[in-house]
Structure 1
Amino acid sequence: MLQGMAVVAGLVQLGVGLSGVGGAMQGQCGPLVLTPVLCMLGFSIYREAALLCSGHWGFALLTVVLLAGLSQHLRSWSLPARLRFLHVPTLSTLSVLLSMLLVWAVCAALHHCGHIRIHTVPELLLKRTDFNMTRIRSWAVENSSSLPSPDLTAPWLSLPFPGLGLPLLSGQGIAAGVAAGLSSCVSSSAAYVLSARLLKAPTPPAWACNRGLSVEGLGSVLAGLMGAPAGICSSVANACTLGLSQCGSRGTVQLSGVMLLILGMFLPLTQLLTSIPLAIHGAVLSVTYTVATATGITYLQYTDVDSGRNIFNTGFVVFMSLVLPRWFRMQLGFIHTSVPVLDVFLQSCLMLPMFLVGFLAFLLDHTVSGSLSERGLERDQSTMEIHSLADKQQGSVQSLEAVYQPPEPVRRLLRLPGLWLLPFCACRSPVMEKVVVTSPETFSLMHSDSR
């Protein structure tokens, strides 16, 4: 069932990306849409972060202190010249990794000496996620002798293969998968803007957003076919980590992907990572997701913050996106349309904060009357197009092509004649289209001159 939902969610993302709808919608999102969406990225995880931190508040607090100290108070510190292997501030770049490793080592040493008991990811999965940590802790004490130990007989190399047959699909599962796919599109698009904002890069253009959504959708489809219970979506924690480390290299993302492939094939390494205490996970989420919330607030500087329209829209959207999902989780049978599939779809949409905040923010910003300057927008007199003041005043010296053009092998693949029209037309940059279109004309002129 979960695998089928992951496949459906991936197909939705793939369709939104290839059709160009994702990039077109992002181009219509001004500062008053991005503010509540980015704020909700941070607020939507607070309950889960508190649940994880409650595994051991001491270690969670230690991780938070180390993260804040390394990334903020000591962010300009670098290695001595003789030992320097990075041309960037070392502690700021490695703040998240160093904090996790140091606290993990302390936890492992105390656990080995028998002073504490560490709550890890496998232990949390043994009980339903909606149980509070107190019940998990009491259950663990009563059943400490029956807790599963790491499987030492697991094979070192396990190549993933597609499962036999398609994942199970039902009408209600498809409806829930469509809702999850729409929510993932909103979350991923917001993560793209968040990463660019934190790295002081140009706002992602429509074709880059479409390409990202398409690749994520394809990854979710493959993950579902491989038997994974969840799809792929841009990680907000990773995007905020880029802001803390200021490491915006494309090679970093590629290296992370290679490491994930290795971890997926070598099971003992994966088991080692699952031994990280839950308190460390909660602390990292607590710090990184606050960056998303604060980044959303910065977009208000481009708008009229004293406008009653803006005050109402922002407050209403954020508050309703927190209240309604929680209320609908307590009223699962509230919607009755005599069509079960439609009931599941509407209920799922109303229980997903990211979909709800994106829908409400976009609707109110485009329906409640207000001037362009009030909304943080301006009209280009030469093209008569409307642009966001946030894109203009960010002042990035980098060009869109230098930041968002794919590597040369990918550009060559997209230039193939069979892929020229559909389905990748929405994922190409205007520069690439110009090169592909003009090259045959140049060749014909040269051929005629030679005659």
Structure 2
Amino acid sequence: MARTDRCKKLCTCKEKPLDPEKPGGVERIDVDCRPSLLLNIALALQHVLVLSSLCALVVSALIQDVDKERIVAYVLFYSGIATLLQSWIGSRLPLIQAPSLDFLIPALVLLSAQSGTPLACRGQCIEGEEPVAPAHPLRELRGMTLVTGIVQFAVGLTGLSGFALGRCGPLVLAPVLCILGFSIYREAALLSSDHWGMAALAVILLVILSQYLHSFLRLTVFSVSRRLSVLLSVMVSWAVCAALVRWGHVHLTSVTQMLSTVRNATFIQSSNSPHSSDFVFPNDSVPWLGFPLPASALPLLSGKSIAAGVAGGLSASISSPAVYVMAARLLKAPVPPAHACNRGLCLDGMGSVIAGLMGAPLGLCSSVSNACVIGLSQSGSRSTVQLAGVLLLILGVSPQLAQMLCSVPLAIHGAVLSVTYALAVATGITYFQHADVDSGRNIFNIGFTMFMSLALPHWFRLHYSFIQTGVVSVDVLLQSLLTLPVFFVGVLAFLLEHTVSGTLSERGLARHDGTKKILSLADQQQGFSPSPDAMYNPPRPVMKVLELTGLRTVLFCACRSPTVEEVLVTVPEMSSLLPDKDARVGSG
């Protein structure tokens, strides 16, 4: 009841009065709350800008055609569709769907396996021989995207995702979330290296707006600036950078020029990269209106694209449930139940399949950086994410607007990714408090899992010719899996947790006296209710469809909400990144 009352006050009063004992306190906007119209639009635009950072990294690394603006618009358009579906009938969490490293790394391996590249030649190409460009690179990427979506959908439909998540304790979730945050540090540093001054300016502004400014001034405008810290820091840094570029004091490069210096991306060449000013001031020749139409040619399902798609789908099936857990923890909401996790992954797969069939080169999964924005802004309204999905649809039908969005300098993108992904690492660290960190078993499991998940993928990236089975598709599959840190950490943490002996309390678990179920100590017991996870239930029309006899017994049985099930209501004890009254609730 207290949760509902707080939502009503936020919706009607726009801002709840600050706690006098905590001058820096800002009330959290929960999932079912609806902020005021202007604040909601600003928060949605903030999510769109964070998504553009991922889009700038992923799409620019793969596409160097004259149609890159059109491809960017495609990605934004189908991200909007997937976001709306995910928030409506998927996991129901306020998450943005976007391409990620789970798809970028297999795509790079797929392109590097083309004829004439080191991985395909295996050291037997004639010296001086020109690499042979792939005949249909975009079609193969779309084929990989289609297979990725099928794998995601299959994992969610069979219930494997929810089943595995229900058996992941703190010592599994903590390493996965930490590596999920660390997995992009190299790419974030690469983008920031375009101009460290601009990156430092964006980071400093973001830290001041989100952590310092509210502590000195208790006016409402400063609490709003904390909610919009990412938006304001990006806009100010972008304006400063645009002015310096116009006056000739700053010279920027493209992401393809920087990636061409990396050994694992030697296949990317950009002999006619745009001038640096094109990344700040959009090109007027790009059309304002261009509705994403179905691609004229079907995706190319070669052995290599299928192998890369399987690798990307398996990695996304690990990272997406981890993002669900992280978002719920930042929202102080109950841990997502199995049916919500399965539905969410099914919707991830459907979004990837639609994107691949319609012309996008990469699949979609829940965005880590957008989930971390919830912690920075303390605003996790579902309506905000749905409005962001609508904005993505509008950007998707206008290549000019899409290019304008992605013209944010790469250094600022790197700063945004650095700060947001850092919150994923911090959220993972909070899970260690629930286990016995002095246990020798846990010390070994944590250290071995996290070190190997960073070291081995880096080694395999540097020695891409190490895997030579004689079958290119098998090489692509193994090379993709072995260079994905999230896949490594998920498999290692789960295996060690369930094979190395240890007591329940040592592992951060406890057996409930009434139900005899093994529960995570990260979730505090509060009571039982027939429907404690109502926020994860889909709308009533969707529930009625899932209740049909055929679907209930054959299809989507893992995605259906239980009618009456004794489930524990949980209150995560993680302290909010922004202090509020709920943070003082007892931790025992």
Residue 125 of structure 1 is aligned with which of 239, 248, 256? 256
User: 1: CA distance between counterparts of 2:463 and 2:205?
Assistant: 41
Correspondence 1:299 to 2:438: no
The answer for the alignment partner of 1:59 in structure 2 is 198
Letter in 2 for 1:50: A
The answer for the alignment partner of 2:316 in structure 1 is 184
Q: 1:165 to 1:419 in 2, by over 3 A?
A: farther
**Percent identity, aligned pairs only?**
60
The answer for the alignment partner of 2:224 in structure 1 is 90
Q: 1:241 to 1:46 in 2, by over 3 A?
A: same
User: Does the 8 Å contact 1:77/1:91 carry over to 2?
Assistant: no
Q: CA deviation at 1:383?
A: 2.0
* Matched position secondary structure for 1:375: coil
Alignment of 1:42-57 (within 5 A): 42-57=181-196
Q: CA deviation at 1:337?
A: 4.1
User: Does the 8 Å contact 2:175/2:446 carry over to 1?
Assistant: yes
User: 1: CA distance between counterparts of 2:356 and 2:273?
Assistant: 36
User: 2: CA distance between counterparts of 1:9 and 1:424?
Assistant: 19
Q: 1:267 to 1:184 in 2, by over 3 A?
A: same
Q: CA deviation at 1:48?
A: 0.6
User: Does the 8 Å contact 1:324/1:351 carry over to 2?
Assistant: yes
Q: 1:251 to 1:293 in 2, by over 3 A?
A: same
Letter in 1 for 2:226: S
Residue 281 of structure 1 is aligned with which of 399, 410, 413? 413
User: 2: CA distance between counterparts of 1:206 and 1:300?
Assistant: 23
Q: CA deviation at 1:343?
A: 3.3
User: 2: CA distance between counterparts of 1:278 and 1:194?
Assistant: 27
Q: 1:67 to 1:245 in 2, by over 3 A?
A: same
Instruction: Give the paired residue count.
Output: 421
> Which stretch has the larger CA shift, 417-426 or 194-203?
417-426
Q: 1:395 to 1:304 in 2, by over 3 A?
A: farther
Cα deviations across residues 203-244 of structure 1 (Å, max 9, x unaligned)? 111111111101011001111112111110111100110111
User: 2: CA distance between counterparts of 1:395 and 1:105?
Assistant: 52
Q: 1:35 to 1:235 in 2, by over 3 A?
A: same
Q: 1:15 to 1:330 in 2, by over 3 A?
A: same
Letter in 2 for 1:35: A
The answer for the alignment partner of 2:381 in structure 1 is 249
Return the TM-score normalized by structure 2: 0.67
User: Does the 8 Å contact 1:76/1:89 carry over to 2?
Assistant: no
User: Does the 8 Å contact 1:76/1:92 carry over to 2?
Assistant: no
Q: CA deviation at 1:394?
A: 9.7
* Matched position secondary structure for 2:510: strand
User: 2: CA distance between counterparts of 1:13 and 1:367?
Assistant: 26
* Matched position secondary structure for 2:366: coil
* Matched position secondary structure for 1:74: helix
Alignment of 1:94-243 (within 5 A): 94-119=228-253, 123-125=254-256, 128=259, 130-131=261-262, 144=275, 150-243=282-375
Return the TM-score normalized by structure 1: 0.86
Residue 492 of structure 2 is aligned with which of 353, 356, 360? 360
Q: 1:331 to 1:103 in 2, by over 3 A?
A: same
User: 2: CA distance between counterparts of 1:386 and 1:274?
Assistant: 47
Letter in 1 for 2:321: S
User: 1: CA distance between counterparts of 2:478 and 2:198?
Assistant: 40
User: 2: CA distance between counterparts of 1:394 and 1:300?
Assistant: 22
Letter in 2 for 1:110: L
Q: 1:108 to 1:322 in 2, by over 3 A?
A: same
Residue 443 of structure 2 is aligned with which of 289, 311, 331? 311
User: 2: CA distance between counterparts of 1:35 and 1:356?
Assistant: 14
User: Which of the pair is proportionally richer in helix?
Assistant: 1
Correspondence 1:258 to 2:390: yes
Residue 424 of structure 1 is aligned with which of 556, 568, 573? 556
The answer for the alignment partner of 1:441 in structure 2 is none
Q: CA deviation at 1:332?
A: 2.0
The answer for the alignment partner of 1:442 in structure 2 is none
Alignment of 1:319-330 (within 5 A): 319-330=451-462
Q: 1:77 to 1:402 in 2, by over 3 A?
A: farther
User: Does the 8 Å contact 1:32/1:303 carry over to 2?
Assistant: yes
Letter in 2 for 1:379: R
CA RMSD of aligned residues (A): 3.0
Letter in 1 for 2:352: S
User: Does the 8 Å contact 1:49/1:285 carry over to 2?
Assistant: yes
Letter in 2 for 1:369: S
* Matched position secondary structure for 1:89: helix
User: Does the 8 Å contact 2:278/2:407 carry over to 1?
Assistant: no
The answer for the alignment partner of 2:62 in structure 1 is none
Q: CA deviation at 1:401?
A: 2.8
User: 1: CA distance between counterparts of 2:471 and 2:445?
Assistant: 33
Cα deviations across residues 323-365 of structure 1 (Å, max 9, x unaligned)? 1111111222323445443333222211111001000000000
User: Does the 8 Å contact 2:169/2:508 carry over to 1?
Assistant: yes
Q: 1:177 to 1:381 in 2, by over 3 A?
A: same
Residue 68 of structure 1 is aligned with which of 207, 217, 242? 207
* Matched position secondary structure for 2:172: helix
Q: 1:400 to 1:341 in 2, by over 3 A?
A: farther
Q: CA deviation at 1:403?
A: 2.2
Letter in 2 for 1:407: P
User: Does the 8 Å contact 2:173/2:431 carry over to 1?
Assistant: yes
Letter in 1 for 2:308: A
Q: Which runs of 5+ in 1 are unaligned?
A: 435-451
User: Does the 8 Å contact 2:157/2:346 carry over to 1?
Assistant: yes
Letter in 2 for 1:17: G
Correspondence 1:6 to 2:140: no
Cα deviations across residues 366-423 of structure 1 (Å, max 9, x unaligned)? 00010010000111222222111112269999x7433212234433443455543343
